[in-house]
Chains A and B, each alone.
Chain A
Amino acid sequence: MIGPQARAVDIAAAVRARRVSARDVAAAALARIAGRNAALNCFTHVRPDEALEEAARIDARVEAGEDVGPLAGVPFAVKNLLDVRGVTTLAGSKIFAERPPAARDATAVAALRRAGAVLVGTLSMDEFAFGFTTENPHYGPTRNPHDLARVPGGSSGGSAAAVAAGLVPLALGSDTNGSIRVPAAFCGIFGLKPTYGRVSRAGAALFAASLDHVGPFARSVADLAAAFDAIQGPDTRDPVASDAPVVPCAPHVGRDVEGLRLAVAGGHFARNAEPEALDAVRKVAKALRIRREVELPESHRARAAAMVITAVEGANLHFPDLKARAKDFDPLTRDRFLAGALLPASVYVQAQRFRAWYRARVAEIFREIDVLLTPTAPWPAPLIGAPRTRRVDDAEVIVRAHSGVFTQPLSFVGLPAMSVPLAAPGVLPLGIQLVAAPFGEPMLFRVAAHLERDGLVSAPLAGG
């Protein structure tokens, strides 16, 4: 039988073999959502009738002997910043609630549906993706299924919470500075921020366009690979989509790490965190017998430049609303967007130029290594309503912003990065960030699958 713990790849195999109907799988997912969403507040919209109809169509096609795709009958949900035909894309805002429903699916949503997956609903987020907590004042905070008093991370908090709780086996989110990886870490699941341009952003509400990525969440490496393979590839609808040949990652899940050059990141990535987050990296590094440490120079500055670019591009995008109706923004995003609108242009250009410098230094390092390990976040999930600042590593930091201290420098130069979960009974999960050179996703999957086989990383169902 297919329960909440079932992997997407196993569901698809069972549906294709007619051991279970896609309709029953969808109905079970909808029942779980109905039972848990009031506590978690991770769905913004559920589409039961459409999902059941679509699932029944999958069953009819299976019955007719058609190939319905690698994700046949797999329920999934998407961050409500990706267009879903017939649903208004709120992007966590009150302002977009006035917009009409989307006329067509985002490219990544359409790709998963073409692969046979069944869309059951849309998921909560920080307003306009500008946050790491999903404490959304318009629609209420989303709660971490490991501890309802804690944030799920953000901005794709609804995506991570829904997958961690077993409401759906797959979800899509977006990541500008860490918005897939941070919630994946806080909720104890797998999350992939692909190489910049590898997955189309067409039909996604943009935040900071030169940093925006779309990617998947899952509770197993095989599921993450299946979802990524379904959505990766070129797209004429996205001006920055890469034309690089598509390399499927699912075949790499069974491969070992033999021959891969692995290293741990030092410097910036070995400071700025609670000891438990750094210990987690040491534990995984020991298991992988990693002895090499490398330093990505000026990573604190890379993070600063990413903050500048994010604030300026975001403020530019929302300038008309900041001017006409600033009061309708979430106070936390409004203040930062307004500040971004006031930065001098020369700083933005300098940040983009620094990006070229940092990208070149990082490229030199990745000529020597294949996969780099860092903590995903500096701590486990903070409490909802946590104080604005806290001390870590002898410095006073802003809690919300600092959650991205290790993710921001890497998305800044578009590197593929995956958060893999360390789980243990009675403690909050932590994430390890695996990082490769551009288009090095297959190597990330090899390392993640190796760690999963060894039992070092896993995503047991949370709560319930």
Chain B
Amino acid sequence: MGESEVKQLAALVGLSIDPLDLPNVVVALRVLLGAADLVREFALADDVEAAPVFRP
């Protein structure tokens, strides 16, 4: 995930990122994608559903 990809991705969702901020956004997105990988790689049964309103 590099700066040009993040710039394109941002444009797709309607955001424009200042070139000066781009390197830090790339770093932040890499951290989040690392967290996302941890979430995605864990197999959940189909019947595990998110509660529409979270109740503890």
Chain A residues packing against B (C-beta within 8 Å): 195-197, 210, 239-240, 242, 298, 300-301, 303-305, 307-308, 311, 322-323, 326-327, 331, 334-336, 338-344, 347, 349-357, 359, 398, 401, 413-415, 438-439
The residue on A at minimum CB distance from B50 is A352
B25 contacts across to A, CB distance below 8 A: 335, 338-339
Q: In the complex, are the beta carbons of B28 and A335 less than 8 A apart? A: yes
Partner of A301, one of B6, B38, B53: B38
Q: In whole angstroms, how far apart are the Cα atoms of A308 and B28 in the complex?
A: 12
With contacts A210-B54, A326-B21, A353-B49 known, is A339 near B32, CB below 8 A?
yes
A398 contacts across to B, CB distance below 8 A: 31
CB distance from A158 to the nearest CB of B (A): 25
With contacts A327-B18, A335-B24 known, is A342 near B29, CB below 8 A?
yes
CB distance from B20 to the nearest CB of A (A): 10
The residue on B at minimum CB distance from A398 is B31
Q: In whole angstroms, how far apart are the Cα atoms of A4 and B56 in the complex?
A: 37
With contacts A210-B54, A352-B50, A356-B50 known, is A342 near B6, CB below 8 A?
yes
Q: In the complex, are the beta carbons of B18 and A239 less than 8 A apart? A: no
Q: In whole angstroms, how far apart are the Cα atoms of A384 and B19 in the complex?
A: 28
The residue on A at minimum CB distance from B28 is A339
Q: In the complex, are the beta carbons of B24 and A301 less than 8 A apart? A: no
Q: In the complex, are the beta carbons of A355 and B54 less than 8 A apart? A: yes
A401 contacts across to B, CB distance below 8 A: 31
Q: In the complex, are the beta carbons of B39 and A414 less than 8 A apart? A: no
Given A242-B55, A338-B25: 5 more A-B contacts, CB < 8 Å: A338-B21, A339-B25, A341-B15, A352-B50, A352-B54
Q: In the complex, are the beta carbons of A196 and B35 less than 8 A apart? A: no
With contacts A305-B35, A350-B44 known, is A355 near B27, CB below 8 A?
no
Chain B residues packing against A (C-beta within 8 Å): 6, 9-10, 13-18, 21, 24-25, 27-29, 31-36, 38-40, 42, 44, 48-51, 53-56
CB distance from B11 to the nearest CB of A (A): 11
CB distance from B13 to the nearest CB of A (A): 6
Q: In whole angstroms, how far apart are the Cα atoms of A401 and B55 in the complex?
A: 26
Shortest Cβ-Cβ A-B pairs, 3 listed: A414-B56, A352-B50, A304-B35
B48 contacts across to A, CB distance below 8 A: 353-354, 356-357
Instruction: Please name 29 pairs of A and B residues whose Cβ atoms are closer than 8 Å in the assembled complex, sorted by A.
Output: A197-B55, A210-B54, A300-B38, A301-B42, A308-B32, A323-B14, A326-B15, A326-B18, A326-B21, A335-B25, A335-B27, A338-B21, A338-B25, A339-B28, A340-B32, A341-B15, A342-B6, A347-B36, A352-B50, A353-B44, A353-B48, A353-B50, A355-B50, A355-B54, A356-B50, A356-B51, A357-B42, A357-B48, A415-B56
The residue on A at minimum CB distance from B46 is A353
A340 contacts across to B, CB distance below 8 A: 32
Q: In the complex, are the beta carbons of B13 and A341 less than 8 A apart? A: yes
Q: In whole angstroms, how far apart are the Cα atoms of A305 and B48 in the complex?
A: 15
B56 contacts across to A, CB distance below 8 A: 195-197, 359, 413-415, 438-439
B21 contacts across to A, CB distance below 8 A: 326, 331, 334-335, 338
Q: In the complex, are the beta carbons of B13 and A414 less than 8 A apart? A: no
Q: In the complex, are the beta carbons of B28 and A338 less than 8 A apart? A: yes
Q: In the complex, are the beta carbons of B50 and A342 less than 8 A apart? A: no
Q: In whole angstroms, how far apart are the Cα atoms of A242 and B27 in the complex?
A: 38
A323 contacts across to B, CB distance below 8 A: 14-16
A352 contacts across to B, CB distance below 8 A: 50-51, 54
Q: In whole angstroms, how far apart are the Cα atoms of A336 and B32 in the complex?
A: 9
Q: In whole angstroms, how far apart are the Cα atoms of A415 and B55 in the complex?
A: 10
Q: In the complex, are the beta carbons of B15 and A338 less than 8 A apart? A: yes
The residue on B at minimum CB distance from A338 is B25
The residue on B at minimum CB distance from A333 is B28
CB distance from B45 to the nearest CB of A (A): 8
With contacts A349-B50, A398-B31 known, is A357 near B44, CB below 8 A?
yes
Q: In whole angstroms, how far apart are the Cα atoms of A17 and B54 in the complex?
A: 44
B31 contacts across to A, CB distance below 8 A: 307, 339, 398, 401
